């Protein structure tokens, strides 16, 4: 984790308006924040007429530098819900390097009773203040992507590294920009030439831009990046404001190509957005946590789903543990797996809130106990990189850890207060009584390709789908599909067994999940869940006494429960990948990869505008490993939006890192090294 976010240092004036101590600047106009925002950003970008002109299925993208109190977002959201036709969507991207906590936001929002509904929705979904991408869905037709990072670093993660050779496939999603950082003289990094170049690279020919600043450096920087700037009458005491449109989108691309092209320049993973796409009813094969969360995410987008499971009921196999911990091992390292784990944990803790609030599972927090002094130092370092009271991680003393756990502990711990445990059946039960979701269990469906999609048969009845998703965990795909066999080859089994410990008077005091090498949950239904063992390459589902003994050996390191007895056990098979990241996205056509991307075998630094050829209408969400309940919700959101032709809420490097074709690409690159 490389954190570039900082806790804001605020003053509050006599009217209760927030001011930044660091930048010596108010967050919004002291004359009238709402009216200034409406004039500069909403009217400056002509949003009322543009929202009204949208067609059902269209997604309008607004991007903002400086989220601040969220005033611009709330006003935009309100206007969109008033003016846009049914079926249109708003995708709002906002960067913030100094995110407020929910109490500070609430205090600022008290000035605006006319935005009470938007404020309540934003505060309800407000994420932990940790670096990275945070997708929120405060309303059915609105997705807010908060990027907690400094402006240039956050913008850079929205696209591959730019190069003349990949320019045609660079994403240019933004329709309107709000430049709303603190004044350029007080916050120059947010108004740098590098920021302006990134803004241009993310813009298309119809993109508009508005800002309150008419500083010469801003006008010159935007003009150099390809924007045509015009000054207009400003709000109140400000004489002028600035509006701009993109004239030359190539001006922002460096004139000279990079001498060395790394994987972050590659564009083979990019998927074209197609907002006019009609997904129809989507077929999903596999009723574990991946299939269930994908059904939920597609349903939230209004897409009907048929979910197929070969077992008699959903979550019958590996996902069916009675208490699945929502947990991830986080690290101070900066890498794809570390970034993904942090983003997934933050999102999952918000995703499960409706079930936790309904008493289905428990948001009891997790205490990660260090295994030794080296790990204790690492966990403390992890905590020190984040703002205090960030909502996701806190380093606590032995005394406080014991208080949170409800039992005596022997070490300090990393506390994750917003985490907990969930039961897959609670999620699958919520799919019932929904006329857009049909569940088919008890038999493996037959599958065959059709001219315009796929046909699935079960119990003598066939149904056709334009889009089909495999969420089948470790279990093999059906015969006759080479592309799915390639996916199978990327997955390896890891068996594991949890032990159920009978509750005792002493163990009943446990209030939080304890985690070290294994995890131990508070009692539920008279038993604690303890596990799980790790059997690499083992796909057998038998319960073994030796695994129970192994689990008991670990529980003694975390909590001494006198008289605890194993009263049951449960075995599952995790589906893992060599790099421990999921396979999430369109399924590639393996027969075409060697032809289209064989050039990488000669020189892996080559960069060509050749996207991966995928099997039309075929996707997968597999390889979640031992963190399925943590990883699945965010993966499902990414894939659901991709199937619908909408913009992904993930940074570009994670979209590439999870793409199912990555192992084939690496194989092509390695083939040259092996020949040499």
Report pLDDT digits (tens) over 590-626.
Answer: 888 888 898 888 888 888 878 888 999 999 999 999 9
Give me the pLDDT at residue 674, please. 53
Q: Is 174 helix (H, G, I), strand (E, B) or coil?
A: strand
Encoding tokens for residue 47?
């949003």
555 plus 626 within the same structural domain: no
Q: Domain boundary at 229, 246, 263, which? A: 246
617 plus 631 within the same structural domain: yes
Chunked mean pLDDT (size 10), the chain, 676 residues: 83 86 83 92 98 95 97 98 96 96 95 96 96 96 97 95 84 95 89 96 95 95 96 90 91 67 86 75 95 96 94 89 92 89 97 95 96 92 90 96 94 96 89 90 90 89 95 79 88 94 92 93 94 90 91 78 84 94 94 87 83 91 95 98 95 96 91 58
Quick one: CA dihedral 143, 148, 150, 152, positive or negative?
A: negative
Q: Give buried/exposed letters for 17-54 (b at 16+ CB in 10 A, else e).
A: bbebeebeebbbbeeebbebbbbbbbbbbebeebbeeb
Number of domains in the chain: 3
Query: Is residue 402 assigned to a domain?
Result: no
Q: Domain boundary at 534, 558, 576, which? A: 576
Give me the pLDDT at residue 477, please. 75
588 plus 611 within the same structural domain: yes
Query: Is residue 354 assigned to a domain?
Result: no
Q: Residue 261 has what DSSP assignment?
A: -
Query: Is residue 254 assigned to a domain?
Result: no
Query: Residue 145 and residue 96: Cα distance in Å, rounded?
Result: 11
Encoding tokens for residue 492?
């390896």
Give me the pLDDT at residue 207, please. 96
283 plus 206 within the same structural domain: no
Cβ-based neighbours of 271, under 8 Å, separated by 6 or more: 585, 586, 611, 642
553 plus 592 within the same structural domain: no
Q: Which domain, by its residues, includes 445?
A: 277-321+420-491+578-676
Query: Residue 19 and residue 37: Cα distance in Å, rounded?
Result: 17
Give me the pLDDT at residue 275, please. 65
Query: Is residue 171 assigned to a domain?
Result: yes
CA nearest to 541, candidates 320, 362, 369: 320
Query: Is residue 306 assigned to a domain?
Result: yes
What CATH code is carried by the domain that includes residue 500?
A: 3.30.9.10
Query: Residue 469 and residue 577: Cα distance in Å, rounded?
Result: 18
Whole-number CA gyration radius for the chain: 26
586 plus 567 within the same structural domain: no
Q: Domain boundary at 576, 596, 616, which? A: 576
Give me the pLDDT at residue 276, please. 61
CA nearest to 221, candidates 50, 213, 328, 296: 213
């Amino acid at each position: 984790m490389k954190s570039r976010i900082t806790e804001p240092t605020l003053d509050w004036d006599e009217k209760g308006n927030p001011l930044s101590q660091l930048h010596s600047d108010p967050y919004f106009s002291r004359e009238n924040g709402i009216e200034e925002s409406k004039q500069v950003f909403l009217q400056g970008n002509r949003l009322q007429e543009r929202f009204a002109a949208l067609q059902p299925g269209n997604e309008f993208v607004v991007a903002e530098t400086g989220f601040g109190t969220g005033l611009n977002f709330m006003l935009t959201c309100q206007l969109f819900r008033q003016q846009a036709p049914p079926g249109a969507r708003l995708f709002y991207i906002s960067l913030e390097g100094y995110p407020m906590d929910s109490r500070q936001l609430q205090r600022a929002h008290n000035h605006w009773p006319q935005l009470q509904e938007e404020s309540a929705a934003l505060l309800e979904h407000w994420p932990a203040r940790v670096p990275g991408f945070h997708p929120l869905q405060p309303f059915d037709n609105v997705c807010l992507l908060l990027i907690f990072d400094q402006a240039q670093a956050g913008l850079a993660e929205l696209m591959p590294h730019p190069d003349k050779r990949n320019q045609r496939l660079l994403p240019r999603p933004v329709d309107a920009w709000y430049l709303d950082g603190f004044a350029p003289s007080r916050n120059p990094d947010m108004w740098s030439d590098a920021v302006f170049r990134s803004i241009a690279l993310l813009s298309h020919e119809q993109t508009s831009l508005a800002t309150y600043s008419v500083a010469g450096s801003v006008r010159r920087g935007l003009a150099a990046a390809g924007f045509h700037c015009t000054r207009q009458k400003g709000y109140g005491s400000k004489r002028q404001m600035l509006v701009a449109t993109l004239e030359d989108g190539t001006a922002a691309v460096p004139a000279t190509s990079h001498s060395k092209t790394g994987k972050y320049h590659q564009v083979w993973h990019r998927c074209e957005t197609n907002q006019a796409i009609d997904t129809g009813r989507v077929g999903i094969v596999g009723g574990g946590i991946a299939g269930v969360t994908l059904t939920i995410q597609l349903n939230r987008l209004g897409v009907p789903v048929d979910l197929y499971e070969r077992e008699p009921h959903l979550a019958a196999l590996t996902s069916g543990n009675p208490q699945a911990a929502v947990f991830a091992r986080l690290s101070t390292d900066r890498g794809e797996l570390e970034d993904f784990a942090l983003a997934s944990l933050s999102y999952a803790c918000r995703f499960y809130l409706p079930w936790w609030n309904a008493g289905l599972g428990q948001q009891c927090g997790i205490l990660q106990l260090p295994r030794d002094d080296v790990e204790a130092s690492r966990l403390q370092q992890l905590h020190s990189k984040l703002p205090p009271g960030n909502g996701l991680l806190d380093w606590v003393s032995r005394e406080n850890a014991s208080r949170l756990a409800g039992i005596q502990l022997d070490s300090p711990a990393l506390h994750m207060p917003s985490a907990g445990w969930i039961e897959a059946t609670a999620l699958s039960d919520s799919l019932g009584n929904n006329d857009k979701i049909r569940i088919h269990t008890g038999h493996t469906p037959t599958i065959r390709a059709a001219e315009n999609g796929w046909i699935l048969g079960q119990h003598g009845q066939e149904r056709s789908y334009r889009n089909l998703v495999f969420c089948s965990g470790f279990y093999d795909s059906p015969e006759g599909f080479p592309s799915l066999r390639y996916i199978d080859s990327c997955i390896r089994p890891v068996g594991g067994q949890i032990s159920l410990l009978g509750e005792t008077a002493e163990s009943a005091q446990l209030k939080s999940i304890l985690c070290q090498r294994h995890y131990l949950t508070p009692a539920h239904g008279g038993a604690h869940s303890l596990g799980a063992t790790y059997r690499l390459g083992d796909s057998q589902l038998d319960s073994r006494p030796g695994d129970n003994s192994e689990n008991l050996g670990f529980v003694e390191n975390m909590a001494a429960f006198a008289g605890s007895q194993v009263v049951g056990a449960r075995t599952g098979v995790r589906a893992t990948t060599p790099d421990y990241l999921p396979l999430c996205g369109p399924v590639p056509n393996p027969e075409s990869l060697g032809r289209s991307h064989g050039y990488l075998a000669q020189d892996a630094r080559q960069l060509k505008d050749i996207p991966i050829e995928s099997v039309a209408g075929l996707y997968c969400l597999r390889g979640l490993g031992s963190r399925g309940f943590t990883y699945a919700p965010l993966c499902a959101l990414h894939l659901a939006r991709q199937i619908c032709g909408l913009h992904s809420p993930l940074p570009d490097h994670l979209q590439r890192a999870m793409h199912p074709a990555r192992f084939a690409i690496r194989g092509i690159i390695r083939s040259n090294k092996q020949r040499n």
